[in-house]
């Protein structure tokens, strides 16, 4: 009997099991995919401003390094735990393989509420993370980046600490840095541009144009706001956006430029320009494209029957639950999956690392042109497999990524194929 997947993420597990069954993956192949190669857990003590000591659990997972150094963000969040970091590292492995960059998946995190820390405490924690994990990371080994509640400023502190420890400049040890210390042009909006390219490629393949296509976006943070700006510039009609406080809807199209300009400090309902709606209502609007770009599990068995959009562009990680994913597939709703739609960020992270390793920096246009090539190629490969296998884009994207990881393991002699 085929061994079942043990991967913790429900959607990943289901896809892996279906692929394992259809493609007759061996037990060894499934084991390679199921298990992280290295999980490091360190409890980091920090002297707080008031003189007390607090201990923060911190993690780094290097999921699979067959295709190159591991890569993945570091999140600071009170709910961070080993299971979550493991699952995100697995998704990073798939993303890196799907967009065909010579990197593998990793992830890190600290269980902390950064809002409870002073700026000094936050900097001490960020530097301590790097001191503790320095033996395991490096430009040719494992390359962290920002994630939830970490940003270019934190990456700057972390880079500085790493260079102090090693005694030499090593900008390629971390990506998502400020431009002044080796960041890449275009990185700030690369996830959004990548998603817009994937949507554009899908529209082209379906014989449709983007102009006038109606779009509702949940989440108006880094990803959602840049995506709204780009799609608006490309002629799509953004009719609804939201943030954690609620959303706005205008069937004639929102004034995206105004929303983007005034986004700093105000929520979208305060900026206005449309009728107030809830986040739940936004997802159920009769639009062409709905974009969850905030948090996970927002389309689930409770609301799946009310989804009227024909296309779901998954910019958040895991916004559609397993049951809802199956239902939408059966109903013929096209779900452009997270590992494809939001992988623009890791592509430009890779391009940042390449620039660091060469100490030669590209103009914004050049970075964006390269991003377009990687995303276009990833879509084309996924589309080819989807057309052959007649399944969803998610299944096809998983197949492309898994095949590449397993082939790398085979070429390293870890997986030995038996002769027929």
Known binding site for substrate: residues?
71, 95, 349
Beta partners for residue 289, in sequence order: 215, 311
- Selecting among 4, 18, 31, 107, the annotated active-site residue is 107
Q: Tell me the binding residues.
A: 71, 95, 191, 222, 349
Residues within the interface to ligand NAD (CB under 6 A): 191, 218-224, 242-244, 279, 293-295, 315-317, 342, 345
CB of 7 to ligand NAD, least distance (A): 18
Yes or no: say if 88 and 7 are a contact pair by the CB < 8 Å rule. Answer: no
Residue 331 bears catalytic tag: no
CB of 179 to ligand NAD, least distance (A): 16
Nearer to ligand NAD (CB atom), residue 172 or residue 318: 318
Nearer to ligand NAD (CB atom), residue 2 or residue 151: 151
Nearer to ligand NAD (CB atom), residue 32 or residue 290: 290
CB of 229 to ligand NAD, least distance (A): 13
Nearer to ligand NAD (CB atom), residue 43 or residue 113: 113
Nearer to ligand NAD (CB atom), residue 25 or residue 248: 248
CB of 317 to ligand NAD, least distance (A): 4
Whole-Å CA distances, 139 to 1, 246, 346: 41, 41, 15
Nearest residue to the partner ligand NAD, using Cβ: 221
- Residue 117, C-beta contacts closer than 8 angstroms, at least 6 positions apart: 125
CB of 303 to ligand NAD, least distance (A): 13
Q: Return the structure tokens found at 340.
A: 């494809």
Q: Would you please indicate which residues are annotated as catalytic (active-site) residues?
A: 107
């Amino acid at each position: 009997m085929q061994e079942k997947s043990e991967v913790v993420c429900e959607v990943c597990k289901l896809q892996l099991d279906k692929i394992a069954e259809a493609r007759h993956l061996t037990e060894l192949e499934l084991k390679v995919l199921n298990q992280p190669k290295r999980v490091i857990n360190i409890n980091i003590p920090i002297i707080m401003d008031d003189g007390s000591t607090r201990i923060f659990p911190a993690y780094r997972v290097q999921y699979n390094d067959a295709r190159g150094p591991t890569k993945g963000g570091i999140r600071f969040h009170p709910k961070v735990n080993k299971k979550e970091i493991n699952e995100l590292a697995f998704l990073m492995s798939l993303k890196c393989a799907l967009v065909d960059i010579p990197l593998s998946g990793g992830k890190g995190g600290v269980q902390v509420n950064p809002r409870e820390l002073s700026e000094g405490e936050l900097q001490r924690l960020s530097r301590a993370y790097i001191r503790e994990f320095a033996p395991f990371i490096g430009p040719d080994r494992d390359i962290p980046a920002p994630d939830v509640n970490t940003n270019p400023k934190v990456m700057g502190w972390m880079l500085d600490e790493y260079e102090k420890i090693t005694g030499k400049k090593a900008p390629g040890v971390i990506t998502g840095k400020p431009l002044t210390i080796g960041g890449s042009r275009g990185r700030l909006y690369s996830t959004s541009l990548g998603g817009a390219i994937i949507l554009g490629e899908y529209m082209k393949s379906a014989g449709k144009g983007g102009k006038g296509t109606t779009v509702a976006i949940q989440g108006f943070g880094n990803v959602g706001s840049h995506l709204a700006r780009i799609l608006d510039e490309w002629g799509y009609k953004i009719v609804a956006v939201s943030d954690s406080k609620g959303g706005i809807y205008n069937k004639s199209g929102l004034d995206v430029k105004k929303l983007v300009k005034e986004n700093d400090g105000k929520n979208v309902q305060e900026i206005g320009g449309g009728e107030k709606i809830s986040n739940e209502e936004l997802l159920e609007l009769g639009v062409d494209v709905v974009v969850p770009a905030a948090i996970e599990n927002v389309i689930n068995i409770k609301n799946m029957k009310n989804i009227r959009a024909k296309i779901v562009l998954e910019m958040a990680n895991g916004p559609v639950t397993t049951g809802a994913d199956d239902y939408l597939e059966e109903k013929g709703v096209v779900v452009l999956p997270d590992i494809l739609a939001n992988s623009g960020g890791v592509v430009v992270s890779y391009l940042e690392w390449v620039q660091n390793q060469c100490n030669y920096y590209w103009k914004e246009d050049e970075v964006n042109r390269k991003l377009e090539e990687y995303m276009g190629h990833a879509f084309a490969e996924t589309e080819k497999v989807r057309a052959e296998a007649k399944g969803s884009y998610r299944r096809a994207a998983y197949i492309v990524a898994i095949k590449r990881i397993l082939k790398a393991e085979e070429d390293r002699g870890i997986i030995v194929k038996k002769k027929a």
